[in-house]
């Protein structure tokens, strides 16, 4: 029954249990990023800029919520599963007018970039697609929200964010996607240091704001996404990875980004020994699912979208998910990709890996509560 997880979540969070409060490591989550972490800001921004938003229409949200929520998937995101495991409410979008932010907020916006929007102005198509929701803007939103959290003095007392978990990203996917609309792969590779620098500086900025624990995800394999496979097909068979069918050069771009990001985060950690910076691997769990989909209960059409308008990868811009002409698969849990972004099933699997990483740093509740597994069994 699809409503069971939602009802269970509400009942669990509504009950006031002192035992849970005493062992809970974190009391709030603050998240920055793009589509992979957007819990509803995108639909506000799109409406303000008169941009059509397909996520406002069914079948988005059908698997868990039963209705569209602004998430670019059929159900929950990685950040939702993290919140469940930490026994916290789902992270509300910061642009929501009626939300309570006592347990955190998401500043993530679909299609957001690490670099300022002006960077893409010379790329005609990208210049029209990129909105002013970059990492710098999201940090400004966070600073504004601090006023309501900490009072008019704007200076939060020492230790205010000690029990807050911060997620810096994922960032980078849209920087490269927009750039590829007007640059070669080699030219796009040259901006990776700039993107990584922006992420690292923002991470350090959060620490200066008082953050004690910051999780910084890398990027997934860009060569495996249905949009890139459709938009940038290789005329040379050698352009595809033999085992995965993904675009080789695009995946190498992802690996390059993730390598530089980890090096930059090591420096941030060294410079800030009083905080903990955790790298979250986005690439490995996805590439494992692509290489061995049957091990994860996925269809052999692992590079195809569950929801789309047909074609080799079931991705068609003229009939995208949520638009007339698109259809949805019978069982999204068997698919890695929903509309070009990941399904709830994929988010769940990726979240498990990130949660294990957090457990390695002793950042989860003790004793561990089984909500994550209950959600798995009920969804």
Residue 128's pLDDT is what? 63
Class of the CATH-defined domain 3-7+26-225+235-290+347-364? alpha beta
Distance of alpha carbon 352 from alpha carbon 212, whole angstroms: 22
Q: What is the spatial distance between Cα 40 and Cα 35, in angstroms, rounded to a whole number?
A: 9
First to last CA, the chain: 7
pLDDT of residue 148: 86
Secondary structure (3-state) at 104: strand
pLDDT of 315 higher than 90: yes
For 194, other C-beta atoms within 10 Å of its C-beta total: 12
* DSSP annotation string for 38-100: -SSHHHHHHHHTT---GGGSTTTTTTTTSS--S-SSSS--HHHHHHHHTT-PPPPBTT-SS--
Question: Can you give the residue ranges of every domain in the chain?
Answer: 3-7+26-225+235-290+347-364
Q: For residue 127, is pLDDT > 80?
A: no
- Tell me the two tokens of residue 287: 């590439």
pLDDT over 60 (residue 50): yes
The torsion angles phi and psi of 114, rounded to 5 degrees, stand at -75, -40
pLDDT, average across residues 228-249: 98
> pLDDT, tens digit, for every residue of 214-228?
999 999 999 999 999
Asked if residue 205 lies in contact with residue 253, where contact means CB atoms within 8 angstroms, the answer is no
Confidence of residue 338 (pLDDT cuts 50, 70, 90): very high
Which range, of 1-10, 234-243, 351-360, averages the lowest pLDDT?
Answer: 1-10
Residue 367 in this model has a pLDDT that exceeds 70 = no
**Maximum pairwise Cα distance, the chain:** 62
Mean pLDDT of the chain: 89
pLDDT of 23 > 60? The answer is: no
**pLDDT value at 22 more than 70:** no
Compute the average pLDDT of residues 14-43: 77
pLDDT at 246 over 70: yes
Is the pLDDT at 74 greater than 60? The verdict is yes
Q: What is the pLDDT of residue 153?
A: 61
The Cα–Cα gap between 168 and 179 comes to: 21
Q: How confident is the model at residue 24, as a pLDDT? A: 60
CA angle 314–40–319, rounded 5-degree value: 25
Q: Which residue has the tokens 């590829």?
A: 180
Query: What local confidence, expressed as pLDDT, does residue 202 receive?
Result: 98
Q: What is the pLDDT of residues 86-105, one digit of tens each?
A: 999 999 999 998 899 999 99
Least confident piece of the model among 18-27, 188-197, 299-308, 355-364: 18-27
């Amino acid at each position: 029954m699809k409503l069971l997880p939602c009802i269970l979540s509400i009942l669990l969070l509504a009950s006031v249990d002192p035992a849970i409060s005493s062992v809970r490591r974190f009391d709030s989550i603050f998240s920055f990023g793009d589509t992979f972490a957007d819990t509803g800001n995108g639909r506000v921004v799109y409406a303000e800029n008169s941009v059509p938003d397909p996520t406002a229409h069914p079948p988005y949200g059908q698997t868990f919520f039963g209705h569209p929520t602004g998430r670019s998937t059929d159900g929950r995101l990685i950040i939702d599963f993290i919140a469940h495991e930490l026994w916290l409410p789902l992270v509300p979008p910061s642009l929501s007018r009626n939300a309570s932010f006592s347990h955190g907020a998401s500043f993530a916006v679909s299609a957001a970039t690490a670099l300022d929007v002006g960077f893409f102005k010379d790329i005609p198509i990208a210049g029209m697609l990129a909105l002013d929701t970059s990492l710098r803007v999201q940090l400004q939103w966070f600073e504004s929200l601090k006023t309501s959290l900490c009072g008019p003095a704007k200076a939060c007392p020492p230790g205010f964010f000690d029990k807050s978990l911060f997620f810096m990203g994922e960032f980078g996917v849209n920087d490269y996607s927009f750039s590829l609309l007007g640059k070669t792969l080699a030219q796009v590779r040259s901006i990776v240091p700039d993107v990584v620098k922006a992420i690292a500086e923002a991470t350090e900025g959060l620490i200066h704001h008082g953050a004690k624990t910051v999780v910084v995800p890398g990027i997934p394999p860009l060569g495996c996404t249905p949009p890139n496979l459709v938009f940038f097909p290789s005329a040379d068979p050698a352009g595809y990875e033999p085992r995965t069918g993904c675009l080789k050069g695009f995946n190498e771009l992802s690996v390059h980004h993730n390598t530089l990001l980890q090096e930059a985060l090591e420096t941030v950690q060294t410079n800030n020994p009083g905080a903990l910076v955790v790298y979250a691997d986005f690439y490995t769990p996805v590439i494992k699912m692509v290489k061995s989909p049957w091990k994860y209960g996925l269809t052999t059409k692992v590079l195809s979208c569950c929801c789309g308008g047909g074609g080799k990868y079931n991705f068609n811009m003229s009939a995208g998910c949520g638009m007339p002409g698109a259809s949805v698969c019978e069982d999204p849990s068997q698919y890695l990709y929903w509309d070009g972004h990941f399904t709830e099933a994929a988010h769940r699997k990726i979240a498990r890996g990130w949660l294990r990483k957090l457990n390695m740093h002793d950042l989860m509740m003790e004793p561990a509560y089984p909500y994550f597994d209950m959600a798995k069994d009920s969804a």
